Amino acid sequence: MSQPAPPALDVEHVSAAYGPYRALFDVSFTVPAGGAVALLGANGAGKSTVARVVSGLLPTTSGAIRLDGRDVTGLPAYKIARAGMAHVPEGRGILANLTVEENLTLAFRQRGGRHRVPDALERAYRAFPVLGERRRQRGGTLSGGQQRLLSLAKVIVVPPRLLVADELSLGLAPVAIEAVYEGLEQINRAGTALLVVEQHVNRVPELVDQAVVLEHGSVVFAGAAGDAVRSMAQGLGRRGASTPTR
């Protein structure tokens, strides 16, 4: 019998800090190969910090991170990206003064090399027709939802093993959120595992079956996405209005 595939992402007892401020405390969870996991929690819970730590933008103070079974703890972000992790950060992550096509071309050249650009552009426009229609429009003048699609389309050149998407739905109307989630679903169907950061449990896309809930930098729930609703409701009851002190 063949060995089961290692998880796409394995976060093991990870802690992290911003200078003296400790932001993550012994965080552990996995994203199965090709699977989709939601990372939930209130403002300031540490979701973006997890996204930064796993993609190498913030060092761990302890613990280990494995991508497809390979230890990537302490590697610089560009090496983790090269090993197959894509991180779509909070905010829009696109260049406002460049056109859609210039944004894509730049990203595709960096990740795939010049020769892959034409094919990748074609695939991006097939996957996200609205970007094809607007290829000459400046990134900064796209709608919020279109900007999120553009930041997703940038990963298409070399499908990553894992995509970490940080609050792609933030500030979008329901119909735009739907489009962004459809984009995520396409990427997932092509074999990329997803870690989808969301604040609200009712925003978790259908493609996600597992959820991890963070509170004050610690995992308070990991399991079926449906059960996360209950866990978060309890968490809200416990949480005070002040910033945590530890």
Ligand X SMILES: Nc1ncnc2c1ncn2[C@@H]1O[C@H](COP(=O)(O)OP(=O)(O)OP(=O)(O)O)[C@@H](O)[C@H]1O
- Contact letters for ligand X, residues 171-200 (x by CB under 6 A): ----------------------------x-
Query: 91 vs 129, which CB is nearer to Mg ion?
Result: 91
* Min dist. Cβ of residue 45 to ligand X (A): 4
Query: 199 vs 234, which CB is nearer to ligand X?
Result: 199
Task: Tell me if 49 contacts Mg ion by CB under 5 A.
Answer: no
Determine which residue in the list 2, 21, 206, 242 makes contact with ligand X, applying CB under 6 A.
Answer: 21
Strand order of the β-sheet with 21-31 is 21-31, 9-18, 62-67, 70-71
Determine which residue in the list 30, 48, 60, 103 makes contact with Mg ion, applying CB under 5 A.
Answer: 48
Task: Tell me if 28 contacts ligand X by CB under 6 A.
Answer: no
Burial 15-34 (b: 16+ CB within 10 A, else e): bbbeeeebbbbebebbbbbb
Task: Tell me if 242 contacts ligand X by CB under 6 A.
Answer: no
> Residue 96's CB: how many other CB atoms inside 10 A?
12
Task: Tell me if 41 contacts ligand X by CB under 6 A.
Answer: yes
Which helix (H) or strand (E) segment holds residue 187: the answer is helix 174-189
* Min dist. Cβ of residue 209 to ligand X (A): 22
Burial 181-215 (b: 16+ CB within 10 A, else e): bebbbebbeeebbbbbbbbebebbbebbebbbbbb
Query: Which residues contact Mg ion by CB under 5 A?
Result: 47-48
